[in-house]
Amino acid sequence: MSQSWDTLDIAKPPSVSLSSSCSESLPEARLGVEIADEEGLAGFRRIAVQIDWAVAGGQRCAPVRLVAWKARLEKEAN
């Protein structure tokens, strides 16, 4: 899912959900998305996607996290 800078809303990240095969394979899986302006780098936003799930004994695994950055393009700044 590609979004322009202006539609990449920090206050309301896009609604995403796990695929049915992921939900079936990973018990009690949780998916989260966080968007924030990158400190010290004007014109950059950090997009973090995190997933975790239940493992034996009712514990949760350590979350798997993917982070990417999006820069405001010059044509988007005008």
Q: Summarize pLDDT for 32-76 with one digit per residue, the tens.
A: 999 999 888 888 999 999 999 999 888 999 999 999 999 887 765
Length of the chain in residues, anyone?
78
Q: Where are the domains of the chain?
A: 20-77
Is the distance from CB of 35 to CB of 46 less than 8 angstroms? yes
Helix (H) / strand (E) containing 56: none
The amino acid at residue 37 is: D
Q: Using CA of residue 53, residue 57, residue 58, residue 59, what is the dihedral sign?
A: negative
Would you place residue 1 in the very low, low, confident or very high pLDDT band (cuts 50, 70, 90)? low
Would you place residue 26 in the very low, low, confident or very high pLDDT band (cuts 50, 70, 90)? very high
Structure confidence at residue 66 (pLDDT): 96
